[in-house]
Structure 1
Amino acid sequence: MKRLLPIVAVAVLAIAGGAYWMNTQQSAPVAGVTNIEPVSSDGADVETSGIVEMMMGADDAPITIVEYASFTCPHCATFHTQVLKPLKADYVDNGKVKFIFRDVYFDRFGLWASMVARCGGPEKFFGITDILMETQSEWTRAGDPTAIAGSLRKTGRLAGLDDDTLQACLQDEDKAKALVGWFQENAAADNVSATPTLIIDGEKHSNMSYDALREILDAKLGE
């Protein structure tokens, strides 16, 4: 489980370098999270209304699960492949659970991955997320930031996004700031300090196995 840094810093995520944009000779600039304009501890000073909640399942499902996860968190990748997949098949697809994925950013690479996953809109988000989580150990270790950005673009292309669309998403400075503010706002509201964290009908839970999660859900459903 990865633990969050205190949600009070100017940039929230202090990473090496001093520029908001990462400039390289090999590729166009990519949005980062260093030196983001000051925001309050709950993200209230940043306009976040344009950020879309990524969810799947029926709106009227009797149970709502919110997962806080980072694209660079190994435990989140394990949860995604070992817990979320059977959860979707057994509870989400049949209308028992509405599942909401909320991004958490430990570093600029997790933010870039989120921007690529969101680049195709809600229709492509979970498909791209599946690829990013399943290949996390590969793209996070691709090398320097340029290589990692290149690997993320490759994932976007596999999902049917063209290079111009991907670059526009990765260069969207306002979106990057809004996502960080949105993350702060959500994490403060739900008192999230580590990933993955689950909020099941408003009750916070730490990482768990599928069997443990199924026990909680079946008890709620009276099954």
Structure 2
Amino acid sequence: MRMWMVAAAASVVMAPAAAQNWAETVSVTPKGGVLIGNPAAKVKLVEYGSLSCGTCAQFHTNGLPPLKAKYLAGGKVSYEFRSFVRNGPDYAGSLIAACLPAKPQLGMLDAMFEGQGAWLQPYMKVQPADMQGVAALPMAQQFVRLAELGGLYGFAATRGLPEARARACLADAALIEKVAANRKEAVEVHGLTGTPTFVLDGKTLDGVLDWSALDPKLAAAVG
């Protein structure tokens, strides 16, 4: 009996540690993007996406799960989402998401993509006079007002971001500039003309809009 117990204890001690699932690691990059996976991964994938882009929402829903399972979990590939703003609601939504730490920020992006139709719907009813009023405001107040028009404060509050904090982020000049800088880099460095645009190890992937087109590119990069 004693020898059996010793052998059993030894087997427990010698059991290999479970491999780390890098798909559960989320961080915020210096550029303000949300990175999933091993920050030191050999292969680096960046998506420039828009929160109001239907194709981006489809990738987030249908492409991100297999991307995590096949490439991110093992640590060889990292994926970074950078917001490419196309309009006022995009900007307001991006600033609200950027208000949060890494994992809650990813959760907010998930909610915005999954509920894209619902949170964008109020903006369909905004009148031209309202938008003229927004344009007349100082930059620091424009996104605060846009969030009011779209009812984004309620959307954010139910997902863990109090209204007072959301208002502060929407008026944060440094945060506004960081979002603008990502857009500028996407256009000037990567030649972005639409969303989503994927950049793999610094190279823009032309014509890649969904998982079926992205998968073979990643497979070739991983080798």
Provide the TM-score with structure 2 as the length reference: 0.70
CA contact (8 A) 2:63 2:210 kept: yes
Match of 1:82 in 2: 62
Amino acid paired to 1:208:
L
Q: Give the 5 Å matches for 1:187-202.
A: 187-202=187-202
Q: Give the 5 Å matches for 1:144-159.
A: 144=126, 145=146, 149-150=150-151, 152-159=152-159
Q: Give the 5 Å matches for 1:201-212.
A: 201-205=201-205, 206-212=207-213
Q: Give the 5 Å matches for 1:1-223.
A: 51-142=31-122, 143-144=125-126, 145=146, 149-150=150-151, 152-205=152-205, 206-222=207-223
CA contact (8 A) 1:69 1:102 kept: yes
Bigger Rg, structure 1 or 2 = 2
Amino acid paired to 1:195:
T
Amino acid paired to 1:140:
L
CA contact (8 A) 1:109 1:148 kept: no
Q: Following the alignment from structure 2 to structure 1, what is the Cα–Cα distance between the partners of residues 203 and 186?
A: 14
Q: Following the alignment from structure 2 to structure 1, what is the Cα–Cα distance between the partners of residues 215 and 105?
A: 25
Unaligned runs of 5+ in 1: 1-48
Match of 1:24 in 2: none
Cα displacement string for residues 169-190 of structure 1 (whole angstroms, at most 9, x for unaligned residues): 1222442244213321343111
Higher relative contact order (CA 8 A, sep 6+): 1
CA drift at 1:107: 0.6
Cα displacement string for residues 61-101 of structure 1 (whole angstroms, at most 9, x for unaligned residues): 22110101111111111111111222122211221211111
Of residues 191-200 and 208-217 in structure 1, the stretch that sits farther from structure 2 once superposed is: 208-217
Distance 1:146 1:211, change over 3 A: closer
Give 3-state SS (helix, strand or coil) of 1:106's partner: coil
Amino acid paired to 1:204:
T
Of residues 182-191 and 111-120 in structure 1, the stretch that sits farther from structure 2 once superposed is: 182-191
Aligned length: 173
Match of 1:12 in 2: none
Amino acid paired to 2:37:
G
Provide the alpha-carbon RMSD of the alignment: 2.2
Structure with greater helix percent: 2
Query: Identity across aligned pairs (percent)?
Result: 29
Match of 2:8 in 1: none
Q: Following the alignment from structure 2 to structure 1, what is the Cα–Cα distance between the partners of residues 157 and 70?
A: 30
CA contact (8 A) 2:97 2:105 kept: yes
Unaligned runs of 5+ in 2: 1-28, 127-145
Amino acid paired to 2:166:
L
CA drift at 1:147: 6.0
Of residues 135-144 and 172-181 in structure 1, the stretch that sits farther from structure 2 once superposed is: 172-181
Q: Following the alignment from structure 2 to structure 1, what is the Cα–Cα distance between the partners of residues 48 and 147?
A: 27
Of residues 131-140 and 201-210 in structure 1, the stretch that sits farther from structure 2 once superposed is: 201-210
Cα displacement string for residues 157-202 of structure 1 (whole angstroms, at most 9, x for unaligned residues): 2321212111211222442244213321343111111110101122
Provide the TM-score with structure 1 as the length reference: 0.70
Match of 2:26 in 1: none
Q: Following the alignment from structure 1 to structure 2, what is the Cα–Cα distance between the partners of residues 198 and 71?
A: 15
CA contact (8 A) 2:37 2:72 kept: yes
